[in-house]
Amino acid sequence: MSATPTAAPTTRIGRHLISIDDLDRAAIERVLDRAESFAEVAGREIKKVPALRGRTVVNLFYEASTRTSSSFELAAKRLSADVVNIRSAGSSVDKGESLKDTVQTLSSYDPAAIVIRAPHVGAARLVAGWTPASVINAGDGKHEHPTQALLDAFTLRRRLGALDGVNLWIVGDVMHSRVARSNILALTRMGANVTVCGPPTLIPREIETLGCQSTVSLDRIEEADVVYVLRMQHERMHDSFVPSLREYAERYQISLARLRPGQLLMHPGPVNRGVELSADAIDSAAALIGEQVKAGVVVRMAVLYELLAGAQPRPSGAGQLATAGLEAA
């Protein structure tokens, strides 16, 4: 290695990923570019690199998850990190242990990162204050799910190239959806035009302040280049928001009949077939759902890599590695 490369500057992305607001457009692009490198790794026979060897990643899931928990686990393992997976059911949380005590107990393993999913808004931010580890928000109640938005942006960028000017509609239970909130922030930051659509009871008031438009009718859905469908988040509903699921499906279900050719279809999963999406739509060529799932692992590898590769400032001062005299490449 000799003369300084002319590639982009490598300032750290920041210690935590709690919200998409932690990333500007350049940082999002950087994570997506890194995810492309990991897509190449995923194509090899040995799908592993030693970048996080010897580091520990703790996955702490207080809510049900298939996709997110398994993809974070696989992402950390493919970076050669040691992984500890805790699901609250069956752990000492059943014995009444609080979130703070759980986090402080796990911090004694000196993890490099804690990935947290919890039903309470703001949980990730709280956890970040209780541990020296990097904290990654895997979903905090209905607030945000930043890695989902990143993998959605990655999937779309791969399909469409730049996202500037792309019209994207988010249809469904926006009120209770952390995926919607993170996606509105991320995709508008990448230049897309986002419109949210659903029954009036499920569109939050003043959602437009996040930078999107809103409508309660699917009439103009053909304006969308991409339709992003959300599931009814029953587990977060404590009131009646729709008269019945059948009526919801009648008015707002996305089926092939409602889509025009050329429109792309996305869904964060899991899908409730026959409710928000018809079977013919799910199984059609317009659906990017499978690509979204595949994107999950490589994007989470990119997030872990960008957050953890590089010296961690140690608050205690113990074991501080000598970074003086090393300049960024």
The residue among 270 and 313 lying less far from another protein, judged by its C-beta, is 313
Return the residue of 21, 24, 26, 48 that touches another protein, per CB under 8 A.
48
Single residue of 22, 29, 51, 211 touching another protein by CB under 8 A = 51
Residue that has been written with the tokens 């000492």 in this structure:
92
Provide the b/e sequence for 288-322 (b: ≥16 CB within 10 Å).
Answer: bbebbbbbbbbbbbbbbbbbbeeebeeeeeeeeee
Rounded CA-CA distance 126/82 in Å is: 24
Q: Does 50 contact another protein by CB under 8 A?
A: yes
Backbone angles phi, psi at 318, to 5 degrees: -70, 140
Q: Do residues 192 and 165 make contact, with C-beta atoms less than 8 angstroms apart?
A: yes
Q: Does 250 bind another protein (CB under 8 A)?
A: no
Task: For the CB of residue 4, give the shortest distance to another protein in the complex, in Å.
Answer: 8
Q: How far is the CA of 213 from the CAs of 29, 167, 206, 259, 265, in angstroms?
A: 24, 11, 10, 20, 19
Residues touching another protein: how many (CB under 8 A)?
Answer: 38
Q: Crossing angle of helices 67-78/289-308, nearest 10°?
A: 50
SS3 234: helix
Q: If binding is defined by CB under 8 A, does position 205 make contact with another protein?
A: no
| Smallest gap from residue 40 Cβ to another protein (A) | 6
What is the nearest approach in angstroms of another protein to the Cβ of residue 329?
5
Are 267 and 228 in contact by the 8 Å Cβ rule? The answer is yes
In this chain, which of 21, 54, 126, 319 binds another protein, going by CB under 8 A? 54
At a CB cut-off of 8 Å and minimum separation 6, what does 183 contact? 148, 149, 152, 170, 194, 228
- 309 binding another protein? (CB under 8 A): yes
Closest CA to 16 of 135, 163, 111: 135
Least distance in Å: CB of 326 to another protein? 6
Least distance CB 319 / another protein (angstroms): 11
Q: How far is the CB of 10 from another protein (least distance, A)?
A: 4
The nearest distance, CB 321 to another protein, in angstroms, is: 5
**Shorter beta-carbon distance to another protein: residue 46 or 285:** 46
Print the binding letters for residues 6-35 with another protein: x by CB under 8 A, - otherwise.
xxx-xxx--------------------xx-
| 2 is a site residue for another protein (CB under 8 A) | yes
**Interatomic CA distance for residues 208 and 104, integer angstroms:** 38
- Binding positions for another protein, rule: CB under 8 A: 1-3, 5-8, 10-12, 33-34, 37, 40-41, 44-46, 48-52, 54-55, 305-306, 309-311, 321-323, 325-329
